[in-house]
Amino acid sequence: MNDLSRASVRETLAPSAIVESVAPQVDGGRFAIKRVVGEEIVVSADCFAHGHERVRAELRWRGPGDTTWNGLAMEPLANDRWSARFVVDRIGFWQYGVVCWIDHLAAWRDGFLRRTDPADLRVHALVGSDLIAESIANAEGSAREDLIQWARTLREESDPQKLHELAMDDSRLELAQCHAPRSGAVQSLSLPAWVDRERGRFSSWYECFPRSMSAEPGRHGTFADLEANLDRIRSMGFDVLYLPPIHPIGRTRRKGRNNSTLAEPGDVGSPWAIGAREGGHTAIHPELGTHEDFRRLVAAAKERDMEIALDIALQVAPDHPWVTQHPEWFRRRPDGSVQFAENPPKKYEDIYPIDFETRDWRALWQTLREVFEFWIGEGVEIFRVDNPHTKPFAFWEWLIASVRRDHPRTIFLSEAFTRPRVMHRLAKLGFTQSYTYFTWRTTKAELTEYFTELTKSPSREYFRPNCWPNTPDILAQQLRNQPIEAFAVRLALAATLAASYGIYGPAFELGENRPRDDVSEEYLESEKYELRHWDVARAGRIATLAAKLNAIRREHPALQSDWSLAFHATDNDMLICYSKRSGADTLLVAVNLDPHNVQSGWVNADLAALGLADYGAWTVEDLVTGERYPWWGSRNFLMLDPRRAPAHVFAVTPGHP
């Protein structure tokens, strides 16, 4: 073919290239991977074709609002694996995929350079000229002129040495490849990614009951009382202030202190028994204040770079307005009464679960969505969702997608301490963060295994952990009747193992350790059922440690994500050691898991994981105490006294000063 400007003839060929095993993806693209603004998505895929054909591959992506696709050439790795990466710079829904096609130009040059017979070279120079002509048809301007010259010279030249030199012109080959028809091209499925703002990945939560924040014992607290505590909470470094339900509390079958089934006069009831004559899920408990007071609290928090997170519990008290307005939304027992919540032998007669199998489910779903919409309108962008695992998966998938469509900054935390597959399904459906089993993982082996799963398994693409040492429902075994040092140990672990963590605030600060009995995880005098007065002036040790750890978290990017976590061997099972890295920022953490005794031992550091493979000497600076130590090689000595500090948080630098 002599016409250098002929039209491309390969665009209509049947697909012959192959794209397989595109990563990352969740369930073949059924669910979105998760990132936050500024992060990379590193995409890899197997790209190949039959026989000895060479291929090229391109990563394609587009973000929210984009009408065209971006493209970037992928780099070959090994064994037909290709890779490229792009940065997500906006909140919202993204798509990405891989295109692969046969690269006849690369195959031609490889074969051409192996030939030595002059006549054979001459023939294959003409083959190359014809292939370049296909690229010319797609080129314009100077690129077109350059390719025309290259093709003509290959056609006209007869000297073997000069033909080899022409074939070795990398810049012209790349130019021709860029404009070549994508022969036998195939494209993978478009895979989804959801991109959150940074707080979706990195956050420090403080939970408190506004009704217990009064400075005066016995007086019901208000939003104004809580606002007066904002500076104290912010001084500890917490950026999310999480409030249990703030709605009117039902009076019918109200629970008394310590979950007594008989309430005494003056008992305030459980905030999770939502709804009374004053209103339901969009109303505020009158003793807390007004909607205007709440908006003032939200604004005051934002002035301090904090956010208010609200608990959304989709259940009602017997006197919630929905019970009479929408009786079809609740199940009936054979005697005609509404079915209350129960987990035999436990009965929760102050709470009615919602029947999600009602025939009126469309109206129900829409009403529940309006609850989220209402509080978003009041300035709330973070929701902790109570027991989402007891509601249908389809509902959460619809609701989260629906809310995010209009409010993409919204963050959802799943409170689902349940079976692993259920927790993971909720995360796949869109929950931004998830509660974890950290609360019950205590030994070095348990912590190592669990956090390796969270940070190294494929589930990390969608399951973002938020670790809590305690909650109003859970006084874990390792804190029951234990000294304040036990609380310090769990705080140090949560704040450094996970990019997002939280504490059930005043109770944790003050080392609340009294269980209701020997078998349950309930607190004695649980704040869920009564007003508590917390003398936070006594919360010195935990408040000081929280402030220090949260400051370290803010100043060191290594602690603001999870995937770099690496564990380092120690010869004492009471000492756990691990590191995190972000660029040049490397932190090495050692924690004494024994709150009662001094523990010591040797750590065998993985120098490669620390970026120190080429260094014999290195320095660690304890960011908690300010002490510095020169270390050598991989084996070094540790000693931790829990009465002084539960952990070392070392900043690592190569060499000795």
382 vs 407: CA distance, rounded Å = 11
Length of the chain: 657
Distance of CA 158 to the CA centre of its chain: 62
Look at phi and psi of residue 55 and say left if phi exceeds 0, alpha if psi is from -120 to 50, else beta: beta
**8-state DSSP, 35:** E
In degrees and rounded to multiples of 5, residue 498 shows phi and psi of -120, 140
Q: Decide: 640 and 599 in contact? Cβ < 8 Å.
A: yes
Residue 487 DSSP class: H
Please tell me the distance from the alpha carbon of residue 393 to that of residue 389, in angstroms, as a whole number: 8
Q: Which residue numbers are catalytic? A: 386, 415
Q: Would you say 185 and 101 are in contact if contact means Cβ atoms under 8 Å apart?
A: yes
Bridge partners of residue 28, in order along the sequence: none
Cα→Cα distances 654→461, 585, 632, 649, Å: 32, 12, 10, 16
Instruction: Yes or no: say if 251 and 270 are a contact pair by the CB < 8 Å rule.
Output: no
Could you identify the residue written with the tokens 């195939």?
186
Instruction: Compute, in degrees rounded to 10, the torsion defined by CA atoms 129, 132, 138, 142.
Output: -90
Cα–Cα distance measured from residue 535 to residue 177, given in angstroms and rounded to the nearest whole number:
72
Tokens found for residue 310: 């609200």
Helix axes 160-167, 118-136, angle to 10 degrees: 30
Closest CA to 211 of 200, 199, 222: 222
The residue with tokens 């996970």 is: 498
Closest by alpha carbon to 580, among 488, 495, 503?
A: 495
- The full 3-state SS of 412-451, as one line of letters, equals EEEECCCCHHHHHHHHHHCCCEEECHHHHCCCHHHHHHHH
Tokens 């919204």, located at residue: 410
Q: Which of 606, 613, 621 is nearest to 651 (CA)?
A: 621
Tokens 């989260």 locate to: 400
Tokens for 17?
A: 């290239």
Report how far residue 39's alpha carbon sits from residue 44's, in angstroms, rounded to the nearest whole number.
16
Locate 571 and state its tokens.
Answer: 């010869």
Could you tell me where the DSSP H helices lie in 157-229?
160-167, 170-179, 223-228
| Cα–Cα distances in angstroms (integers) from residue 651 to residues 104, 294, 586, 623, in the given order | 52, 41, 6, 7
Structure tokens at 177: 């490849």
Residue 302 one-letter amino acid: K
Give the C-alpha separation, 112 to 154, whole Å.
Answer: 12
Residue 361, token pair as written in the block: 């489910």
User: What b/e readout covers 165-198, taking b as 16+ CB neighbours within 10 angstroms?
Assistant: ebbebeebbebbeebbbbbbbbbbeebbbbbbbe
